[in-house]
Amino acid sequence: MPTLKAQVHLDEAYTNQAVINALKNSSRIDWQIEEPSADNAELQDLDNIQLQWAEYELINWHYLARHATNAIANAYCIRKGLIRKSQLSYNITKYLSKHPESILRSAIPETWLFELDHVDYFEEAMNEVFEVERDLLDPDTDHMFIIKPSMANKGAGIKVFNSLEQLRSMFEEDETDSEDEDGEETDAGDGYNFDREDLTQVREWVIQRYIANPLLVDGRKFHIRAYVLAKSNIQVYLYRDMLALFAMKKYSTEDLNDSLIHLTNTCIQTDEEGFDEQASVKLFWELDLEKKDLEHIFEQMKNVLADIFDACTSEMTTFQAMPNAFELFGVDFMIDADLNVYFLEANEFPDFKQTGDKLQHIIEELFETTNRVAIEPFLLQDTEETIDKKMVKVYEKELLSL
């Protein structure tokens, strides 16, 4: 069994330890694991390092390029065409113009790019998404939409709205800022403040038509968090062990401002009184649904992912697969009451911690499987593909490599 070196440096201790445990459990490689102290700088001391598993900003891309046949890293350098919402929307629109029969035509909620430099230009910005404005002004129907920052994650800045007034208020900064007892300014706000950062400064958003008839379990809305492994140049796998992440409150459209009804990101629930991890995070295959319905949903996910990656990898300026790289994406799907699957977004470096303590083994098994399917075959130069029952291949294509 060969002895190889790995450097592991992930900000979240939960994930960092799970990666280390997975490598130590390898039956084919005796991993010597280094945990360097790096602070917003590339990993530099890479003498004879075969694996970099680190935060994107810390990966030494020059080293990876110089050791294209005997070193591998846990991310692709260029993949904004998949993970940036506005760029993905553009890629999908272009793809559908060439492939009108694609499942993406029905599996992607109707989407608009919304750019706003300042609230004073709100009316001009709405002219660019006139379909949204038209529907909001229609007195005979109650159209609902959801708006998301193009680059934010963990539910930051996401709002549901059904009126122009609601949308505009997101971008209006409260002019009655006051000072706290220490003399520091505080924003009084109007319900649209954000805990993580001031997203009123965000210029690029996407607006999507809200899926108003979600499939409910126990009266609550949920989305599926799937883990997708992309490796080399390029093969894409869907991991069978998926999570169902639930909203904290029963579903209703009467209060669109209550994020605990409409948003299913568990990270926004953990500080709420009455948060129950076991009620908010469940296994997809254990949902109270017919087995045939679960399989039907899974098949749709496979087909959607195949076309998503076909659309993204066709645009080399925004997605470039590298032979000596792999990446795990957190992909979110929504299911409606008719069991139709909708692709919501793909997240780079997903928040594995939201899996929770009870299901932590899912993440460790995911990393062990990633090691078997993506890392070991590359470094040991296997000539045959590694088959794993939990990693279901959904897409394969030989891409040009720069």
CB within 8 Å of 331: residues ≥ 6 apart: 225, 226, 227, 228, 305, 343, 345, 346, 347
Summarised one tens digit per residue, pLDDT across range 262-318 is 888 776 676 667 677 777 889 999 999 999 999 999 999 999 999 999 999 999 999
Q: Are 132 and 112 in contact (CB under 8 A)?
A: yes
Q: Are 257 and 227 in contact (CB under 8 A)?
A: no
Which CATH number does the domain housing residue 334 bear?
Answer: 3.30.470.20
The domain containing residue 168 runs over which residues? 119-209
Identify whether residues 302 and 237 lie together within a single domain: yes
Q: Is residue 203 part of a domain?
A: yes
The pLDDT value recorded for residue 263 is 84
Identify whether residues 186 and 303 lie together within a single domain: no
Identify whether residues 348 and 216 lie together within a single domain: yes
The pLDDT value recorded for residue 302 is 98
Identify whether residues 217 and 147 lie together within a single domain: no
Q: Is residue 232 part of a domain?
A: yes
Identify whether residues 156 and 55 lie together within a single domain: no
What single-letter DSSP state applies at residue 387?
P
Q: Is residue 114 part of a domain?
A: no
Identify whether residues 180 and 328 lie together within a single domain: no
The pLDDT value recorded for residue 86 is 87
Identify whether residues 227 and 350 lie together within a single domain: yes
Q: What pTM, to 2 d.p., does this model score?
A: 0.88
Least confident range from 63-67, 91-95, 396-400: namely 396-400
Cis omega (within 30 of 0) for bond into 234: yes
Identify whether residues 32 and 134 lie together within a single domain: no
Identify whether residues 346 and 290 lie together within a single domain: yes
Two structure tokens written together for 119: 């609230």
Q: Is residue 327 part of a domain?
A: yes
Q: Is residue 402 part of a domain?
A: no
Q: Is residue 319 part of a domain?
A: yes
Identify whether residues 242 and 295 lie together within a single domain: yes
- The band of 97, judged by pLDDT with boundaries at 50, 70 and 90, is very high
Identify whether residues 284 and 325 lie together within a single domain: yes
**Among candidate residues 149, 175, 209, the one where a domain is terminated:** 209
Identify whether residues 337 and 365 lie together within a single domain: yes
pLDDT (mean) for 87-102: 96
